[in-house]
A = this chain, B = another copy of it.
Amino acid sequence: MPRFNVEPIRRRQLIEATLRVIEDHGFQGTTIGRISAASGLSVGIVSHYFGGKQGLLEATMRHLLTELRNDMRRFMADYPRTPEGRLQAIVDANFSGVQTQSKSARTWLIFWSQAAHSPDLARLQRVNERRLYSNLVHSLRPLLPAHAVSGTAHTIAAMIDGFWLRTALSEGRIGHTQAVELCKAYIDQAIHAGAEHEPTDTYPAQSGATR
């Protein structure tokens, strides 16, 4: 009996190997054989810990989503607790860490394209989408007239995804520094354009932080 539970260690090894293999060989080239070679473990271990290849792939997707959420929380905690600060944190988090590495980029695309066929993945994707949207709405509400909030939130979300996609695909032609700048520029513009019309409804700082 090993001193400590090896399960989490093995699971992490296999997930990281999977990311590496997808990056190197694409989704079609991602085989159990290659994953086991990359992890230094045997082929049988995948079934043992993940029930099979599909299970490992889903766990890998889940891993990416978890890391994205962690990045988001970290940035949220570090930035000023103002609506503007939160918006900055959202943008920065989406272009930092896991999201930036080309290792993950390919995998995200595959994740998205697979989501339509796996109800499980579709659910994860939807949760993620909603979280970003409601974060944005929450931060925009104090800054914009009510009628402009939803559209602006959708637009920012689309812009983040779009820049992310273009950054991931255009190896180096568009840097994420530029992407972050342009996202923030839009946000400023939207806030100022919106503020001209009418500042906002009247419950801006609702006592403290809601949750």
Contacts and interface: CB of A to CB of B under 8 A. Distances in A.
Interface of A: 25-29, 106, 109-110, 112-117, 125-126, 129, 151, 154-155, 157-163, 165-166, 169-171, 174, 178-179, 181-182, 185-186, 189-190, 192-193
Contacts of A179: 158
29 contacts: A25-B117, A26-B113, A26-B114, A26-B116, A27-B27, A27-B28, A106-B113, A110-B113, A112-B165, A116-B169, A116-B171, A129-B166, A129-B169, A129-B170, A151-B185, A154-B166, A154-B174, A154-B182, A155-B182, A158-B158, A158-B159, A158-B162, A158-B165, A158-B179, A159-B159, A162-B165, A186-B186, A189-B193, A193-B193
Contact of A113 (B109, B178, B181, B190): B109
A170 B165 CA distance: 17
A181 B154 CA distance: 11
Contacts of A117: 25-26, 29
Copy tally for this chain in the complex stands at 2
A188 B129 CA distance: 26
B166 A165 contact: no
A201 B165 CA distance: 32
For the residues of A in contact with B, the DSSP-based class is: helix
Q: Which 8 A-B pairs have the closest CB atoms?
A: A162-B162, A158-B162, A109-B113, A161-B162, A158-B163, A26-B117, A155-B182, A110-B113
Given A26-B117, A112-B169, A193-B193, 17 more contacts: A26-B113, A26-B114, A27-B27, A27-B28, A106-B113, A109-B109, A126-B170, A151-B181, A151-B182, A155-B186, A158-B158, A158-B159, A158-B166, A158-B182, A159-B159, A161-B161, A161-B166
